[in-house]
Amino acid sequence: MTSESNANNGFSSEAEAALAKEAGLSLSGWQQEVSRGLEFGLEAAASIGDRSIPTFSRGELPHYAGINTFLKAPYLEDVRKVGEYDVAVVGVPHDSGTTYRPGTRFGPQGIRRISALYTPYNFEFGVDLREQITLCDVGDIFTIPANNEKSFDQISKGIAHIFGSGAFPIILGGDHSIGFPTVRGICRHLGDKKVGIIHFDRHVDTQETDLDERMHTCPWFHATNIRNAPAHNLVQLGIGGWQVPRQGVKVCRERATHILTVTDITEMGLDAAADFALEKALDGTDCVYISFDIDCIDAGFVPGTGWPEPGGLLPREALYLLKRIVREAPVCGLEVVEVSPPYDISDITALMATRVICDTLAHLVVSGQLPRREKPAYIHPEAEPEMAGDWR
Ligand SMILES: [Mn+2]
């Protein structure tokens, strides 16, 4: 178990440690970006004093300019080359699984747009993603509106491709129905290995069907039917309130998933909650998949979501749990779901999603999981054959 005082490595405060860490970071990624900008974007007009500025914006600056990939990462048009990168961001613009407010098909766009606000550097973590990892944006999965099952097949195929390549998948939802096909895609490349799922949410999402289909209330019923993703390694953090369907609660009880409410988490303490999540998700498994529903955070911070529920985690609580988990578990992928930009205000919900993703990447760097020096041992080189009609 880490504590904040140990994490400061002898410095008197996190801030003092952060100041020292920054001095150890390289600038070569930035310098390459400047050179590339001047070459491809032409040197600036004569009146511009800062000669690192090109005529055409290429790269991070200015933050309001440019073509909007995630963190302005290069757009990888040829997805056959995804394995050349440490991390691949992929959008899943799908909201046919929503049962109340739609709009998450615009989630990937919304997250990408506000991600342009961020620099690749984090002060407290002492990480500069531009210097330490290679990141690409492969664009979006071609989902089929009004057909969950066809969309699921597309999503599983796409995620299996990325995961099997060795690139770490960052998945921008989309509603939570995508949790089943994303996990199914990962499981296709696990061979006989197993994955634990850590699920941040206000809702259990464990019923078999909702409105007669596999909606965003259903991913874990189906994901935990896959032999590589046992239900006893499903940890559900932040559950509670007035939107938890009783048929889903019955499934949680029958399958013995591990639930902590917001009160459980705050009363036992964040470190004890993280210890619990790590212990249950890693019990007999080889890696952990993180499914982060943005609505696990109190509705006041995330208005742009499908089923807002007051009483959720504070952002700093969720981010602290995430930090402990990502630093201490072998993480095989992250999805951030249920961001619905049409209901958002000042991009605040999409910004929270961006924060979850960037923090995860930083913790993967700090824990040595990124950059990828070799493919993690849990990735099986051969994909399981696609199973058509594995439900109904
Ligand atoms: Mn939810």
Instruction: Report pLDDT digits (tens) over 307-319.
Output: 999 999 999 999 9
- Whether residues 113 and 208 share a domain: the answer is yes
Distance 205 CA to ligand 1 centre (A): 7
Residue 13 lies in a domain: no
Nearest-angstrom CA–CA distance, 277 and 260: 9
Give the other-Cβ count within 10 Å of 102's Cβ: 16
Distance 175 CA to ligand 1 centre (A): 9
As a whole number of angstroms, the longest Cα–Cα distance in the chain is 71
Residue 14 lies in a domain: no
Distance 57 CA to ligand 1 centre (A): 38
- Whether residues 116 and 262 share a domain: the answer is yes
Residue whose tokens read 């058509």: 388
Give the chain's mean pLDDT. Answer: 96
Residue 392's pLDDT is what?
A: 74
Indicate the pLDDT class of residue 390, thresholds 50, 70 and 90: low
Q: Examine the pLDDT at 33 and tell me if it is beyond 50.
A: yes
* Overall average pLDDT of the 265-286 stretch: 98
- Whether residues 341 and 354 share a domain: the answer is yes
Residue 342 lies in a domain: yes
Nearest-angstrom CA–CA distance, 81 and 189: 18
- Whether residues 261 and 153 share a domain: the answer is yes
Distance 301 CA to ligand 1 centre (A): 14
Nearest-angstrom CA–CA distance, 251 and 257: 9
Residue 276 lies in a domain: yes
**Last residue within a domain, chosen from 21, 50, 66:** 66
Residue 378 lies in a domain: no
Distance 269 CA to ligand 1 centre (A): 22
- Whether residues 37 and 158 share a domain: the answer is no
Indicate the pLDDT class of residue 6, thresholds 50, 70 and 90: low
Q: Examine the pLDDT at 89 and tell me if it is beyond 90.
A: yes
**Last residue within a domain, chosen from 14, 48, 66:** 66
With vertex at residue 197, the alpha carbon angle to CA 189 and CA 224, rounded to the nearest 5 degrees, is 75
Nearest-angstrom CA–CA distance, 159 and 184: 9
Distance 68 CA to ligand 1 centre (A): 27
- Whether residues 162 and 57 share a domain: the answer is no
Q: How many domains, the chain?
A: 2
pTM of the model: 0.97
Residue 1's pLDDT is what?
A: 44
Q: Examine the pLDDT at 255 and tell me if it is beyond 60.
A: yes
Nearest to 92 by CA among 153, 178, 157: 178
- Whether residues 74 and 61 share a domain: the answer is no
Residue type for 27, please?
A: L
Question: Assign residue 346 a region: left if phi > 0, alpha if psi is -120 to 50, beta otherwise?
Answer: left
Distance 238 CA to ligand 1 centre (A): 10
Residue 373 lies in a domain: no
Distance 293 CA to ligand 1 centre (A): 5
Sequence-ordered list of residues with C-beta below 8 angstroms from that of 279, at least 6 positions apart, any chain: none
Q: Is 335 within 8 Å of 182 (Cβ atoms)?
A: yes
Give the other-Cβ count within 10 Å of 32's Cβ: 13
- Whether residues 38 and 151 share a domain: the answer is no
Name the CA dihedral angle for 114, 119, 124, 126, rounded to a multiple of 10 degrees: 140
Residue 385's pLDDT is what?
A: 81
* Overall average pLDDT of the 282-307 stretch: 98
Start-to-end CA distance of the chain, whole Å, equals 44
Q: Examine the pLDDT at 389 and tell me if it is beyond 60.
A: no
Residue 277 lies in a domain: yes
Q: Examine the pLDDT at 83 and tell me if it is beyond 50.
A: yes
Indicate the pLDDT class of residue 270, thresholds 50, 70 and 90: very high
- Whether residues 329 and 271 share a domain: the answer is yes
Which position has the higher pLDDT, 6 or 88? 88
Distances (CA, A) of 380 to 22, 38, 163, 192, 377: 37, 42, 10, 9, 7
Name the CA dihedral angle for 217, 147, 79, 219, rounded to a multiple of 10 degrees: 20
Residue 217's pLDDT is what?
A: 98
Note down the domain range covering 96: 70-366
Residue 242's pLDDT is what?
A: 97
For the chain, what percent of residues have pLDDT higher than 90? 95
Residues belonging to the chain: 392
Dihedral pair phi/psi, residue 218, rounded to 5°: -125, 0
Residue 172: alpha-carbon gap to chain centroid: 7
**Beta bridge mates, 137:** 75, 89
For residue range 353-362, what is the model confidence (pLDDT) as tens digits? 999 999 999 9
CATH of residue 117's domain is 3.40.800.10
Residue whose tokens read 């952002």: 315
Nearest-angstrom CA–CA distance, 17 and 371: 23
- Whether residues 230 and 276 share a domain: the answer is yes
Residue 7's pLDDT is what?
A: 62
**Last residue within a domain, chosen from 66, 93, 120:** 66
- Whether residues 57 and 79 share a domain: the answer is no
* Overall average pLDDT of the 310-333 stretch: 98
For residue range 92-117, what is the model confidence (pLDDT) as tens digits? 999 999 999 999 999 999 999 999 99
Which position has the higher pLDDT, 246 or 3? 246
Q: Examine the pLDDT at 2 and tell me if it is beyond 80.
A: no
- Whether residues 41 and 102 share a domain: the answer is no
Residue 6 lies in a domain: no
